[in-house]
Chains A and B, each alone.
Chain A
Amino acid sequence: MERSQDTVVCRCENVTMGEISDVLTAGAKTFDDIKRVTRAGMGICQGRICECAVTDLLMRGGGVPPTEISPRSVRPPVRPITLDVLGASEPDALPLPDEA
């Protein structure tokens, strides 16, 4: 199977290689740049799966040297967690450092 401009790179947000190429042409240099324009990396897996492919495109299509590639930014929660657990206030809820 050949890759083409329609090849889906970010499966969570259905972002194609063509869309990413366009952003590279406009001067994108980081995963975050591409994320903010295309939504690649904003879906439920938060870039776990597409980061490698996007990084590859940054290097080849965007001309970013490997030494200048920064990883995608990671924020809590480490994995999806329901709001009822996040908002829990029962005594046996996980103690959280900055609530001490």
Chain B
Amino acid sequence: MAQRITEHQVLGPPPTLRAFHLTFNGREIPALEGDSIASALLAAGIRVIRRSAGGDPRGIYCGIGHCYECRVTVNGVSGQRACLVPAGDGMIVEEEPEEDRDGH
């Protein structure tokens, strides 16, 4: 479970940041100004972001927008990388459907 740093031994306490909420799969998640969707999810203890073909849990991997492992649907638009998209007030984030390798 990832926790937000409340007292850094060099930087001290974090500044007061605007707090808001987004939803992930209908569940309300707290977020702070400057969060990516991924960091908000991590802070809420959510690590499984989608499932691969075969049902394996997948989540944040590279964290820098290269691997597309963290892809989510944001306000109806699919394939958004949670690690790059800034969290927004009232944002609706949904898990992508499990990969379907035998669609036909």
Contact = CB atoms under 8 A, between A and B. Distances in A.
- Say if the two chains contact directly (CB < 8 Å): yes
Contacts of B69: 11
B98 to A, nearest CB: 12
B53 A14 contact: yes
Interface in A1-47: 8, 11-12, 14, 43-45
A8 to B, nearest CB: 8
A80 interface: yes
Nearest to B71: A44
Interface of B: 52-54, 56, 58, 61-62, 66-69, 71, 79, 101
Interface size class on chain A is 10 to 19
Given A11-B58, A11-B61, A80-B79, A48 B66 contact: yes
B79 A11 contact: no
B54 A49 contact: no
B54 A11 contact: no
A12 B54 contact: no
A11 B71 CA distance: 13
Interface in A37-96: 43-45, 48-49, 80
A82 B61 CA distance: 23
A11 B70 CA distance: 12
Contact of A14 (B54, B62, B71, B79): B54
Contacts of B62: 49
Contacts of A43: 68
CB-based closest 6 A-B pairs: A44-B68, A49-B67, A48-B66, A45-B67, A45-B68, A14-B53
Question: By CB atoms of chain B within 10 A, which of A8, A43, A45, A80 has the most?
Answer: A45
Contacts of A49: 61-62, 66-67
A28 to B, nearest CB: 23
B13 to A, nearest CB: 36
Contacts of B71: 44
A90 B58 CA distance: 39
